A and B are shown apart, each in its own frame.
Chain A
Amino acid sequence: MVQDAREAATAPGRRSAAARVGRPSPGWAVPGVLFFAVFAVVPMVYAVYLSFCGNWGGLGTPQFSGLSNWTRLFQDSDVRQATVTTVVLTVLSWAFQTPVALLLGVWAAGRERNRAVLSAVFFIPLVLSTTAIALLFKAILDPNFGLATTIGPWIGFPDGNIIGSPNGALIAVAFVGGWQFIPFHTLIYQGGARQIPEVLYQAASIDGCGRWRQFFHITLPQLRHTITTSSVLIIVGSLTSFETVFLLTQGGPGTSSTTLSYGMYREAFQGFDFGYASALGTALVVVSTLLSLLMVKFSGFGSMRSTREGM
């Protein structure tokens, strides 16, 4: 009843005075919106503008140069390689983090004792900064320091110089990212798995389904939305990942682990070509925006928005 009255009251053109009692004026939002505009929206728009400006290193004023950066971008073999590297890294990260986090999360959603095993220790990587983690693994994977020479031969790097080989460097970056973020995604999956109604499993048990079939026919389909949310976070995160590459491999050896965002950094702050760097950045935003929109569509944000209707 109250609900109906409220909806009627806020329907366009039917606002009575009563419905407006105590409504704040939009003016309250101005400082926050302005601040966000200056430090997040304007930089984004400015990046798009700069992507149409010629070789500019920050001194004087940028000169408009039409599509020159963009044509260069589409012909640049380095960019092509960085794109492939970024995609490979993203796929590796997803393929590593998703199964591990999903299985750990489902297992931890079970009995109380399971969660106790994944106690405090399990989440420590989450409280360390990416910088600290990257430097820790740089030390561990240092070929002179020991552990790399022990592990290397097991995974096909007989000389133990994992970071020094093109494939090894990428694998290392993906592994370090996983080491850092798998606990986070485990939490997401644990939350999702605990929402699955127990009744489904009981019914399946009565019908004589074993563990495997329960997992594939109940758990996985029920976790559909959780998998989407977690996957999109992994994908958008790895597409724009910068710190681990910067600290662990510096994009090397050669340019074999140079991702698009690290390449952009190099163009801007080592090559001082802000226009070209901005074109790279803009291209990256377009891709990750498309993915984020998918995220808004398929995950919780979408439902958060829809609850606004009828308010």
Chain B
Amino acid sequence: MSQYVKSLRMKANPLAGLGAGVWLVIVLVPLYILVTTSLRTQDEALGGNPLSWPRTLTLSNYKLVLDSGFWGFLVNNVLVTAFTVAVVVVLCVPVAYVVVRSAGRWADFAFRIFLLGLAIPAPVTIVPLYVIIGKMGLYDSLPAIILPTAAFAMPVTLLILVGSMRDISEELYEAMALDGAGQARILMQLVVPLSRSGLSTVAVFTALNAWNGFIFPLILTQSDNERVLTTGLYTLSSQYGVNIPATLAAVVLSGIPMFVAYLLARKALISGLMGVGGK
């Protein structure tokens, strides 16, 4: 039957195609302006048409940004991202393992606490976090950014990990336990290797959040030495003021690392972005 009926779904739909084309233009034009303007001289940018091709291409804006502390922001950003991912993975794997394997009220209770955490929006906690981090003596340090960023990545992480650990069959656990393996060994040699796909999604999701986070670094750090890419970008743009090409050069530079990661590992990045929705 089906080979005779070609459903409309698979037929070309020129109107929808046109709509998609329009959206593509809407995405592309700002990106085109971003790149071309960052290569313009400041004089040309202020008077000219942003859609025209630059009369003189210059890398001076990039040089200006790289000379104003950009490398420091990048190093801090890498540190924050790496430590956040490490903290989240190390803390969440055992919790997910308990939720999946331990049939008890406590495990349920723990999981519920984390699910409630899904409902806590990060911006709302900035006042108490500012006070608490201050009381801990961590204000204006990288750990001040890492700790809350990690905490807020935990609920989604747990959902994903619990989902992937459920797929490990009961018999494997029991076989290992009967062979006398301790819990730590079961965790390291069975659970971690078999939930690798969930772990990579979680790592990407957490890394993206940490990499692009703005509100925690904005509130919990202030000095130049503790700036990450986002707060560095914000500071530079207010310094540059009307020097729009320089600001946009900083935007391009801040986007390059993620963009390269995207080109190299598109699938992993997309699944990490989707987080809960990811397959």
Give chain B residues whose Cβ lies under 8 Å from the Cβ of A32.
91-92, 94-95, 110, 154
Question: Closest residue to B100 on the A side, CB-wise?
Answer: A311
Give chain A residues whose Cβ lies under 8 Å from the Cβ of B122.
240
A41-49, A67-75, A76-84, A154-162: which lies at the interface: A41-49
Q: 1/0 per residue B238-279: CB within 8 Å of A?
A: 000010100110110011001101110010011001101101
- Which parts of A183-199 form the interface with B (CB within 8 Å)? 183-184, 187-188, 191, 198-199
Pair A307/B166 contact, Cβ less than 8 Å: yes
- Which parts of A254-311 form the interface with B (CB within 8 Å)? 261, 264-265, 268-269, 274, 277-278, 281-282, 284-285, 288-289, 292-293, 295-296, 300-301, 304-305, 307-308, 311
The one of A40, A132, A183, A288 that contacts B152, using a Cβ cutoff of 8 Å: A40
Q: Does B211 contact A (CB under 8 A)?
A: yes
Pair A29/B27 contact, Cβ less than 8 Å: no
Say how far A132's CB is from chain B's closest CB, in angstroms.
5
Q: 1/0 per residue A135-164: CB within 8 Å of B?
A: 111111010111100100000000000000
Alpha-carbon distance between A281 and B51 when the two chains are bound, in angstroms: 42
Pair B28/A121 contact, Cβ less than 8 Å: yes
Pair A304/B159 contact, Cβ less than 8 Å: yes
Pair A123/B120 contact, Cβ less than 8 Å: no
**Interface hub of A135, A206, A229, A278 (most chain B Cβ within 10 A):** A135
- Which parts of B124-156 form the interface with A (CB within 8 Å)? 124-132, 134, 147-148, 150-152, 154
Give chain A residues whose Cβ lies under 8 Å from the Cβ of B194.
none
Say how far A310's CB is from chain B's closest CB, in angstroms.
10
Pair A120/B46 contact, Cβ less than 8 Å: no
Chain A at the B interface: SS class:
helix
- Which parts of B1-15 form the interface with A (CB within 8 Å)? 1-2, 5-10, 12-13
Q: 1/0 per residue A91-123: CB within 8 Å of B?
A: 000000000100110111011001001101111
- Which parts of B102-127 form the interface with A (CB within 8 Å)? 102-104, 106-108, 110-111, 113-127
Give chain A residues whose Cβ lies under 8 Å from the Cβ of B244.
139, 142, 145
Q: How many residues of B contact A (CB 8 A)?
A: 122
Q: Does B69 contact A (CB under 8 A)?
A: no
**Interchain residue pairs A-B with the least CB separation, the first 7:** A22-B177, A39-B151, A129-B212, A292-B119, A32-B95, A46-B128, A201-B7
Q: List 11 A–B pairs whose Cβ atoms lie within 8 Å, in order of A's numbering.
A: A32-B91, A38-B132, A40-B120, A145-B244, A191-B277, A201-B7, A201-B8, A268-B130, A281-B124, A304-B159, A311-B166
Interface, chain B (partner A; CB < 8 A): 1-2, 5-10, 12-13, 16-17, 19-21, 23-24, 26-28, 30-31, 33-34, 37, 45-46, 48-51, 87, 91-92, 94-95, 97-104, 106-108, 110-111, 113-132, 134, 147-148, 150-152, 154, 159, 162-163, 166, 170, 173-174, 176-178, 181, 183, 186-187, 208, 211-212, 214-215, 219, 229-230, 233-234, 237, 242, 244, 247-248, 250-251, 254-255, 258-259, 261-263, 266, 269-270, 273-274, 276-277, 279
A21-B174, A58-B134 known; 9 new pairs, CB 8 Å cut-off, are A127-B262, A135-B250, A140-B30, A147-B51, A183-B27, A191-B279, A281-B126, A284-B121, A305-B115
